[in-house]
Amino acid sequence: MENNENITEEQIENSECEETVNAEEAENNSAESESELSEEEKLKAELDAMKDRYMRTVAEYDNFKKRTSKEKEELYSTAVCDTIAEILPILDNLKRAVNASEDADSQNLADGVKMIEKQFGEVFTALGIDEIEAVGNEFDPNLHNAVMHIEDDNFGENAIAEEFMKGYSYKGKVIRHSMVKVAN
């Protein structure tokens, strides 16, 4: 029976050791699971912070787009108003010239039209609009639109002989090409 008692005591000691080991493993596992949970929670918190930062950036960009769109509309509106304000006095003089032509001789009409032409030149200069030089210059398809061609020894090769409609440019960009007759 001593063997049975020894075995039993050994079994008891082994089972006690196993319980101790199991308890330690359980503590280690719970500590590991706690560290895993805390790391998982940290990652989750970091993800939430990044989501928040992303949403704020998207909202800022959306506000920027709306603000710049509104500024562009206002800028365009201001430019149109300023341009029309510059042209309105010319329209007034044109109306005066038409009224004068009905009341008086043709000299008053000619004077009124000359005033209008002068005002257009002043407004275009103020707006930075330049006339495209044509007659006597060499034909440039970037600036001129050739509608006729003649043979004339008085002009050089590919020279502009006559201008039918004046061309204009703004800061190097062509608004309207000059309509011209090209010689040779």
**Beta-sheet pairing, 167-170 with 173-176:** antiparallel
| Average confidence score pLDDT of the chain | 79
| Mean pLDDT across 91-100 | 72
- What pLDDT score does 26 carry? 58
100 compared with 138, residue with greater pLDDT: 138
Residue 138 is given by DSSP the state B
- What pLDDT score does 161 carry? 87
Reported as a single tens digit per residue, the pLDDT across 34-56 is: 566 688 899 999 999 999 999 99
Reported as a single tens digit per residue, the pLDDT across 16-30 is: 556 555 556 655 555
Q: How far is the first Cα of the chain from the last one, in angstroms, to the nearest whole number? A: 136
Please say whether the beta carbons of 146 and 181 come within 8 A. yes
